[in-house]
Amino acid sequence: MAAPTEQLDYVSFGTPLELLSEDEPLKRPVPLQEQTVKDDRGRIKRFHGAFTGGFSAGYFNTVGSKEGWAPSQFISSRQQKAEKQVFQPEDFMDEEDLAEHGIAPREIMTTDDFASLTKNQIRSKAQALSVLAAPIPGATVLEDLIAASRISIGVKLLRKMGWKEGQGIGPRVKRKLQRQRNGAGLRLYGCSLPPEESDKSEEEDDAYIPENVTFAPKDVTPIDFTPKDNLHGLGYSGIDPGKALIGGVLEEHIHLFSVESERTSNLLGSEGYSTTRKIGVSGQAFGVGVLEEEDDDIYGTESLSRYDTVIGEEEPGDCMYGWSAPYEYSKKNAEFIKDIAYAGKILEGFTKPSKSLSIKKIYLPPELPRDYKPVHYCHPVMSTSNTSYQKSSDLMTSCRQMERAALQNSRHQMNAVLRRNLIEEPTLPGPSSVFDLLSNEAKKRIKEVKQAVEQKQLSQSLPSCIQTVSTDEALRAWQNICGNEIGTFKPFEKIPEKQARYEKYISKLKQGRSDALEASLDSQMTEWERGREREEFVRAAMLYKPSNSTLASRFTQGKHEDDSENVYVVPDHEDDLNDKEAAVKMKMFGQLTRDAFEWHPDKLLCKRFNIPDPYPSSSIVGLTKVKKDKYSVFNFLNVMENTKPHLKQSQSDLSTNQKPDKASIPLKSNRQSRWDVPGKENDKKDSLSEFITFARSQSLSERQGSQPDSSEPAIIPKEQTAPTLDDLEEKRPSMDLFKAIFANSSDDESSSEGDGDDEDNQQGQNKSSLIKDPTSLIECQEPSKNKTKETFSNQEECQPTKSSDTSENLATQEEFGPRLPPVVPYGTVSLSSGSVFPETIKRKYKEKQNKHKPKMDHKQKRYKKKKKHRKHKHKSKSKKKIIEGCTSSSDSTESSGSDTGASSSVLSTEELLKRIKVSLQRHEKTW
């Protein structure tokens, strides 16, 4: 083929055709219908309509998928709720629509609100296009007619400010009435001016102008300053080739002389008329086309009469809108004109100055010397000879100036060094002073100066030391103080001797002695130490001089040290229980029994209660607290400290007796439950104690046991019964031991026992209540493992008839608070059907009721017996069961009788014991 050299010579455009191989058959050209056009992304593009404007909501032009728009997935779950979507038209557009030439091009433009009234280019272009595309040319006129009037925001604002259309902008002016001039036929060239607003010379108007009438300023239309760059005549524009074919567009050209206001006024009407009418070629140069029906005399309109023939009349000053037209000569200031004739026209609002400006005289800058260099050198040369004394002393003292100022003034003027000394912080590494940075020369110089100063000072015998100044001040400060301020501040507390010296110094200061400092110092110290101490004392005295009352008043000495050993504790005002109890007894409720505390509810709690936070600024929640020693016992002993000590003791004793498991309960172990204390009423029902009380009262024939602290006898009988039977009883272990050994976890029996105990005292009611409790009854009928437990746990338990399966350990734990009434087991016969009980159960129940009483006796007895005869104990145990049986069977009177307590009160203990013995023997026989 072609040689490479040849190739180089040519520039090739386009894609080369494939080389034809001669063997292959000729390729068929792709038929027209199969040719495709692809867009910039390679997607096949189909054309709908002439351009892209065809409406087709299919795949190929609008949406990017074959299926069209994918339906939005409905997602809704508990966490993620489907939100309601509001679609904008833009959501259905693809990027092509949003592109520059699409339906909704995206670009930044002023919104209609802020757009000026002049139509923007795009809009006009679109309008023109639509006019072209419309089936009937000029159909948009209707739209123009109907279109909502949109007022730009500027106009709106102006209107609100009182502006009306046709007026100018600005403050109202006092002016002569405008003379309306008939300017209909006037022509203007180049710049079109509203003729009706053009004001005339004001000469004739002077006569009838009301004084107080003001007028809006004239409206101003901007003058078109487009430079004329062609050779046409003024106002002429040739036929625009782009518009030539559409007659309607040319209306501007035709109405060459119609002024702006006119045009706007008849814009719609006349324009519409002309556009509908004119089609085909029209224009100045063409005349009337063939297609035009109306034979306008287009030439005739251009009559010369419409032209202005007069020069000069047309130039009123007021009409120079928007720009500073030359001032109009008026007849009034005709004489003035002459003066300024040389200067040409004077602008409106300006007058010629009466005084001529004085010309500013301009002086030349001074000439620089030849050898001037614009660089500054500093030469702080200070020779000892010529420095004044004042200066040098200043220099010397300046280094300590700050320190001194601090001493003299207040703590606020302390410098860093001073503060560092105060808090005894080590000095920072690095150069400690500026002098370290100085060169040797400079140091030398300073030294010289210093020496000179010192010499001079010596010679003049001036008050040498700064210290003396401050000591004097300290003296002055402390002199009039008689209080004992030193007690409050001890700067040298760590070194007692030093502190003592300081105090001495201060006391001497107070006495007003001027030698206070020297006298108080230790003479045995070295000079250096003394000097230092002197300084420190003075400083301390000055720092904490009592005149610094602000300092003193602001702080108060801490009552406690800030240690971790402190804890915040609620102030306990509730501890004066003695008074309160007295008040309660006297029924003097009210202030005596009431305590009020500041209590801060939680913010959230207030919110939930819909109540404003009473303490909005506080961060405390609950009661306000005070600081107390953390390890103080008194923090935790705030419950019962008032009550009688012996009661307390016995009460704790009792409580341990009652509840062996209580110790294992972690909660609030520091708080004693009041339930542990048998109340006054409870005590009476405590059968053991009561019995013992009886016994004691019988034996001692003393006062009846109606004492409030009836728990006391619970201890006493041990001692009292012991002496009577102490022949073999060496020493009885405490109740706790028994309890620990014999008490088991389940308190069923004990609870039922408690019921039994109750019976003793409340026989009236217990019978019926017990009847309703068959399960517990039955339980009791079961041979109890150890009866000793019953005997010991005869203190009332709180869940008297808890069902056996549920009440295990929990029940024993829960023995705080008022007891819950006995549980009726599920499915129990109700009150009314109580009589339906089988007779046996009833009987057994009675037994159980009765069992208690003999048991008590038996217990007493057993105490003795146990110690006496170990082997006998076993027997007695077995016997005890029998006792129950026999008592139940034999004597119903004693059990059911309400006066067991009474009878026992009659009987003495000996008698009781005797009785028991008898019964025992009897049962042994039966056994």
Partner 1 sequence: MAFPQPKPEKAEMPSKLLRTVDCKQGAVRAVRFNVDGNYCLTCGSDKSLKLWNPYRGILLKSYTGHGYEVLDADGSFDNSQLCSCGSDKTVILWDVASGQVIRKFRGHAGKVNCVRFNEEASVIISGSIDSSVRCWDTRSRRPEPIQIMDEAKDGVSSLQVSEQEILTGSVDGRVRRYDLRVGQLFSDFIDSPVTSVSFSKDGQCMLSSSLDSTLRLIDKDTGELLGEYTGHKNSKYKLDCCFSDKDTHVGSCSEDGKVYFWDLVEGSLALAFSIGSGVVQSLSFHPRESKLLTAMEGNVQLWGKQSDEEETVD
Q: Name which position in 5, 111, 830, 926 contacts partner 1 (CB under 8 A).
A: 830
Q: Which stretch binds partner 1 (CB under 8 A): 253-261, 337-345, 580-588, 777-785?
A: 580-588
**3-state DSSP call for residue 601?**
coil
Q: Does 816 bind partner 1 (CB under 8 A)?
A: yes
Name which of 840, 831, 772 is nearest 803 in CA terms. 772
What are 28's two structure tokens? Answer: 């068929």
Rounded to the nearest whole angstrom, what is the least distance from the CB of residue 647 to partner 1 in the complex?
14
Write out the two tokens for 265: 């006024």
Query: Contact 308/186 with Cβ under 8 angstroms?
Result: yes
Spell out the residues 6+ positions from residue 650 whose beta carbon is closer than 8 angstroms to its own: 709, 711, 712, 714, 715
Question: Hey, how many other C-beta atoms are within 10 angstroms of the C-beta on 372?
Answer: 8
Shortest reach from residue 769's CB to partner 1, in Å: 5
Distance CA 27, CA 351 (A): 92
Helices (H), 341-465: 389-408, 416-423, 440-460
Residue in 278, 508, 600, 879 binding partner 1, rule: CB under 8 A: 600
Out of 333, 384, 828, 908, the residue judged to bind partner 1 by CB under 8 A: 828
Compute the half-sphere exposure of residue 369: CA atoms within 13 Å on the CB side of its CA. Answer: 4
The tally of CA atoms less than 13 A away on the side-chain side of residue 873 is 15
DSSP β-bridge partners for residue 628: 567
Query: Please, what is the angle between helix 466-479 and helix 527-543, to 10°?
Result: 40
Least distance to partner 1, CB of residue 511, Å? 54
* E-state strands within 176-273: 214-215
Judge contact between 466 and 397, C-beta under 8 A.
yes
Please say whether the beta carbons of 907 and 695 come within 8 A. Answer: no
Q: How far is CA 284 from CA 253, 306, 698, 726, in A?
A: 8, 17, 150, 153
- Using CB under 8 A as the binding rule, whether residue 644 contacts partner 1 is answered as no
CB of 687 to partner 1, least distance (A): 14
Binding-site size, partner 1 (CB under 8 A):
76
CB 131 within 8 A of CB 138: yes
- Least separation, in Å, of the C-beta of 613 and partner 1? 8
Binding piece for partner 1, criterion CB under 8 A, among 227-235, 257-265, 665-673, 884-892:
665-673
Among 102, 154, 280, 825, binds partner 1 (CB under 8 A): 825
Q: Contact at 8 Å (CB) between 660 and 743?
A: yes
Q: Which two tokens stand for residue 569?
A: 């504790």
The nearer residue to partner 1, 224 or 681, going by C-beta atoms, is: 681
Q: Within positions 786 to 805, which residues make up the interface with partner 1, using CB under 8 A?
A: 796, 798, 803
Site string for partner 1, 732-761 (x = CB under 8 A): ------------------------------
Q: Which stretch binds partner 1 (CB under 8 A): 153-161, 206-214, 696-704, 811-819?
A: 811-819
Q: Of the two residues 150 and 644, which places its CB atom closer to partner 1 in the complex? A: 644
Structure tokens at 689: 């104690």
The pairing of strands 37-38 and 173-174 is unpaired
List the one residue from 153, 209, 820, 918 that touches partner 1 (CB under 8 A). Answer: 820
Q: Enumerate residues 38-67 that contact partner 1 by CB under 8 A.
A: none
Q: Is 818 in the site for partner 1 (CB under 8 A)?
A: yes
Closest approach of partner 1 to the CB of residue 780, in Å: 18
- 316/319 Cα distance (integer angstroms): 6
What is the nearest approach in angstroms of partner 1 to the Cβ of residue 781?
21
Residues 283 to 312: which contact partner 1 by CB under 8 A? Answer: none
Question: Which of 370, 559, 668, 731 touches partner 1 (CB under 8 A)?
Answer: 668
The only residue of 394, 529, 565, 581 in contact with partner 1, by rule CB under 8 A: 581
As measured in angstroms, the least distance from the Cβ of 881 to partner 1 is 29
Residue of 92, 236, 555, 589 interacting with partner 1 (CB under 8 A): 589
Indicate the residue among 799 and 900 with the shorter CB distance to partner 1. Answer: 799
Shortest Å, Cβ 575 to partner 1:
10
Helices 496-511 + 527-543 axis angle, to 10: 60
Minimum separation from the CB atom of position 747 to partner 1 (A): 15
Chain residues 680-709 in contact with partner 1, contact rule CB under 8 A: 680-682, 685
Shortest Cβ 727–partner 1 spacing (Å): 40
Alpha helices in 409-439 (DSSP H): 416-423
**The binder of partner 1 chosen from 550, 765, 809, 903 (CB under 8 A):** 765
Helices 416-423 and 389-408: angle between axes, nearest 10 degrees: 40
User: x/- site string to partner 1, residues 612 to 631, per CB under 8 A?
Assistant: x-xx-----xxx--------
Judged by CB under 8 A, the stretch of 262-270, 598-606, 838-846, 863-871 that binds partner 1 is 598-606
Q: Is 143 in the site for partner 1 (CB under 8 A)?
A: no
| 3-state class (DSSP) for residue 70 | coil
Nearest approach, Cβ of residue 922 and partner 1 (Å): 34
Residue from 479, 769, 892, 905 touching partner 1 (CB under 8 A): that is 769
b/e sequence 97-136, b meaning 16+ C-beta within 10 Å: beeeeeeeeeeeeeeeeebeeeeeeeeeeeeeeebeeeee
Q: Which of 795, 794, 791 is nearest to 866 (CA)?
A: 791
State the greatest distance between any 2 C-alpha atoms of the chain, in Å, as a whole number. 166
Q: CB of residue 685 vs partner 1: minimum separation in angstroms?
A: 8
Within 311-340, the residues that bind partner 1 by CB under 8 A are none
Tokens read off for 655: 């409580």
Write out the two tokens for 534.
Answer: 């002197």
User: Binder to partner 1 among 56, 301, 768, 903 (CB under 8 A)?
Assistant: 768
Residue 594's nearest CA partner among 606, 583, 610 is 583
For residue 570, state whether it binds partner 1 (rule: CB under 8 A): yes
Told to check if 671 binds partner 1 by CB under 8 A, we report yes
Of 606, 741, 778, 907, which lies in the binding site for partner 1, with binding defined by CB under 8 A?
Answer: 606
